[in-house]
């Protein structure tokens, strides 16, 4: 076997090993990037949920105040009807 063929054979084996490790490295990097993107998406979803919950609480407080006002008016109307009747 000549030196030229021997070096090509060794280079192919080492190149294959390096290629496998390089592909594995790039796959790990791609998974990490995808995980970070997914975490950011969950974070944005959680922030939107918190904002929506705050808006719902504000609307509920407003409806509660309106309902209390309606209740007071109804009590006033009932008292007036009892006085008339």
How many CA atoms does the CB half-sphere of 73 hold within 13 Å? 6
The pLDDT of residue 1 is 63
Of 84 and 60, the one with more pLDDT: 60
CA distances from 44 to 41, 47, 51, 57 (A): 5, 5, 11, 20
Candidates 24, 6, 2; CA nearest to 14 is 6
The pLDDT of residue 4 is 87
Query: Can you tell me the distance from the alpha carbon of 72 to that of 78, in angstroms, rounded to the nearest whole number?
Result: 10
Q: Read off the DSSP letter of residue 57.
A: H
pLDDT in tens, 14-42: 999 999 999 999 999 999 999 999 999 99
pLDDT in tens, 39-82: 999 999 999 999 999 999 999 999 999 999 999 999 999 999 99
């Amino acid at each position: 076997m000549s030196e030229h063929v021997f070096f090509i054979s060794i280079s192919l084996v080492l190149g294959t090993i390096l290629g496998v490790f390089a592909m594995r490295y790039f796959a790990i990097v791609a998974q990490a990037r995808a995980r970070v993107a997914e975490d950011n998406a969950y974070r944005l979803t959680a922030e939107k949920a918190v904002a929506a919950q705050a808006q719902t609480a504000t609307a509920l407080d407003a409806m509660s105040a309106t309902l209390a006002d309606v209740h007071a008016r109804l009590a006033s109307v009932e008292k007036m009807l009892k006085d008339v009747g």
